[in-house]
Amino acid sequence: MVWLGFFLIAAYAFVKSMRVLFMTTRQSGRFFSVNNLLLLCSIYTTVLIAFGIGYLVLEEMGLPVLEEDGRSLDVHSFEMIEVCMYFSAITLLSVGYGDITPIGIGRWLAIVEALVGYTMPAAFLVHTVIEHEKR
């Protein structure tokens, strides 16, 4: 029940902060764009799902690419989807927690995914600045 309260507080804070951001942007003429933000979120989501499916397909083909606590994954298909998407999200959005680690070809996939995750904000920033300069 406590988690529901935290969730509601977080949701309220998010809505209020977005409202303030939009109002500030409209009044000051800053180059914040909702379209750019939605585009960035869409790209991150697409990359996350694509790499997650890549890990999943390799695991289902019998080629181990992920292990948990030093052991190969021994989970059902639905849980495998969850683990692959979780690993993809953690790799794309942060440096990872270390609870699930890539092995074999999975290491190379994780490197590529991490590089994509690190370069996207820079590309987004450059795109935003160039768009602002055109105006």
pLDDT at 10 over 70: no
In contact, 51 and 88? CB cutoff 8 Å: yes
Give pLDDT tens digits for 45-101.
Answer: 888 889 998 898 888 888 889 998 888 888 887 899 999 999 999 999 887 788 899
Percent over 90 (pLDDT), the chain: 21
Q: Which residues contact 90 (CB under 8 A, 6 or more apart)?
A: 96, 97, 100
User: Quick one: pLDDT at residue 4?
Assistant: 61
d(C-alpha 51, C-alpha 44), whole Å: 11
| Residue bearing the bigger pLDDT, 3 or 116 | 116
pTM attached to this predicted model = 0.72
Cα torsion at 99, 103, 109, 115 (round to 10°)?
A: 60
User: Quick one: pLDDT at residue 106?
Assistant: 92
